[in-house]
Copies of this chain bind each other. A is one copy, B any other.
Amino acid sequence: MSRMASTKSRPAESRPTEDPRSQVPARSAAPVRLARPAPEPIYEGDFVLGEPLELDCGQKLANPTLHYAVYGRLDAARSNAVLVCHALSGSALVGSWWPELFAPEIEDRLVDTRRDCIVCINLLGSCYGSTGPSSVDPRTGRVYGPDFPLLSIRDNVRAQARLLDSLGIHRLRLAIGGSIGGMQALQWSIDFPDRVERAVVIGVAPLSAMGLALNHTQRMAIVNDPDWNGGNYLTHRQPRRGLSLARQIATFSYKSPDLFEERFARRPNRNGEQPWLHEPGANGLLGGRFDIAGYLDYQGEKFPDRFDANAYLAILRMMDNWDPVRDAGGVERAFSAIRARLLLVGISSDLLFPARDVRQLAESMRSVSVHADYREMVTAHGHDAFLAEQAELVRLLHSVE
């Protein structure tokens, strides 16, 4: 029996969307299911740098494109600009994936499309419009693929600054993001101290050894797929199985044991599979799945419809490598130039970026006289809480000084 057959012989299942972000069209970032329509950008388009972007690694990225979206209008004084930075698999369309952040119900909220001009820029290295491994290298006329250069968060921030220059935005009232988005918001405060008034950095710190371990096994899941082919694959032949497994590993690192226990416990898969029964052929060794396994398979299987494996690898490295203290050679040199008022938010059940690490990052910044507050989301949702519990996050941020 072939491995494909052994997988396909399982009963089909249609899994209800217990995860609000599970209804995903092909190749667009996962939108949140909303009671109201998602906020619409007033502009969505591309900015192309007029010259090569010099990268931290010493390479150059030829005239990269930044895809971005704008919500709300810049005021005459250009004083109402907010930069929202997205996480690993996000896109410029922040209205789709973080709608509650600037939904209009709460007065005097941190971000509000009626008051602010919100800009969100797709990461370089990603696959939602900005230049990434699946883009064509203008110097060769061929897709970058494995030859895409090593990018850093700093490289992204430098390119984003050029885009904001082009929009006439010199100063940000606020830079905000969760996970890799938080890395960007903090890096903005470090690299452009005069351009950031306030930054909110959620669920992030330099990755610990365990976080690096989680990312490494995801990387190996992709590399082990023969369809990855050293990074040289056609778009329609991408390493789906490897990318799916990477997403499964990521999924459990984004959630928490308590959340899984509440949602799935030891129940058998909802499509009627029975883990305790013998099944003939290769399924004898695999078995009927538990519900949590059905959930992970479902999350994994749909991910390659909307994300590119090489982009995933590129962003994993960006995430692994982000380490402002190492870059600068010490806490003092890393942080003391910051002028923004910072708020760091830890997530109590975060396995990927433990709240303790976020709190310590805030403490290290305060040790060099940076205004760096710390708050904690107490939640069972794990790292994903900044997306899964948006209303709670908005309440937490509502009264920020």
Contacts and interface: CB of A to CB of B under 8 A. Distances in A.
A58 interface: yes
Nearest to A261: B209
A310 interface: yes
Given A206-B266, A241-B224, A216 B293 contact: yes
A221 interface: yes
A228 interface: yes
A216 B281 contact: no
A68 interface: no
A275 B219 CA distance: 14
Nearest to A313: B285
Of residues A6, A56, A150, A296, which shows the largest number of chain B Cβ atoms within 10 Å of its Cβ?
A: A150
A148 B285 contact: yes
- Size band of the A side of the interface? 35 or more
Interface of A is mostly: helix
Nearest to A260: B209
A260 B213 contact: yes
Given A266-B207, A354-B257, A286 B245 contact: no
A5 interface: yes
Given A292-B213, A326-B266, A276 B224 contact: no
Interface stretch (A86-94, A317-325, A338-346): A317-325
A223 B286 contact: yes
Given A58-B278, A277-B57, A320-B275, A257 B226 contact: no
A46 interface: no
A166 interface: no
Q: Give how many copies assemble into the complex.
A: 2
B228 A3 contact: yes
Nearest to A220: B245
Interface in A103-138: 133
Given A226-B3, A285-B310, A292 B148 contact: no
Given A208-B261, A245-B217, A230 B281 contact: yes
A313 B292 contact: no
Nearest to A280: B147
A161 interface: no
A39 interface: no
Contact of A209 (B266, B310, B321): B266
Contact of A284 (B149, B208, B229, B256): B149
Contacts of A277: 57, 150
A378 interface: no
A223 B3 contact: yes
Given A257-B354, A260-B210, A1 B278 contact: no
B216 A248 contact: yes
Contacts of A285: 133, 146, 148, 231, 310, 313-314, 317
A250 to B, nearest CB: 10
Interface string A134-158: 0000000000001111100000000
Contacts of A323: 266
A232 to B, nearest CB: 8
A148 B284 contact: yes
B282 A146 contact: yes
Interface in A188-232: 206-210, 212-214, 216-217, 219-221, 223-226, 228-232
A237 to B, nearest CB: 14
Interface centre among A217, A225, A248, A291 (most CB of B within 10 A): A217
A242 interface: yes
Interface in A1-31: 1-3, 5-7
B210 A276 contact: no
7 contacts: A55-B278, A133-B285, A210-B252, A210-B261, A216-B290, A217-B248, A224-B245
Given A220-B244, A224-B245, A232-B282, 12 more contacts: A55-B278, A58-B278, A133-B285, A146-B285, A149-B284, A212-B266, A212-B292, A213-B248, A213-B293, A226-B226, A266-B323, A285-B313
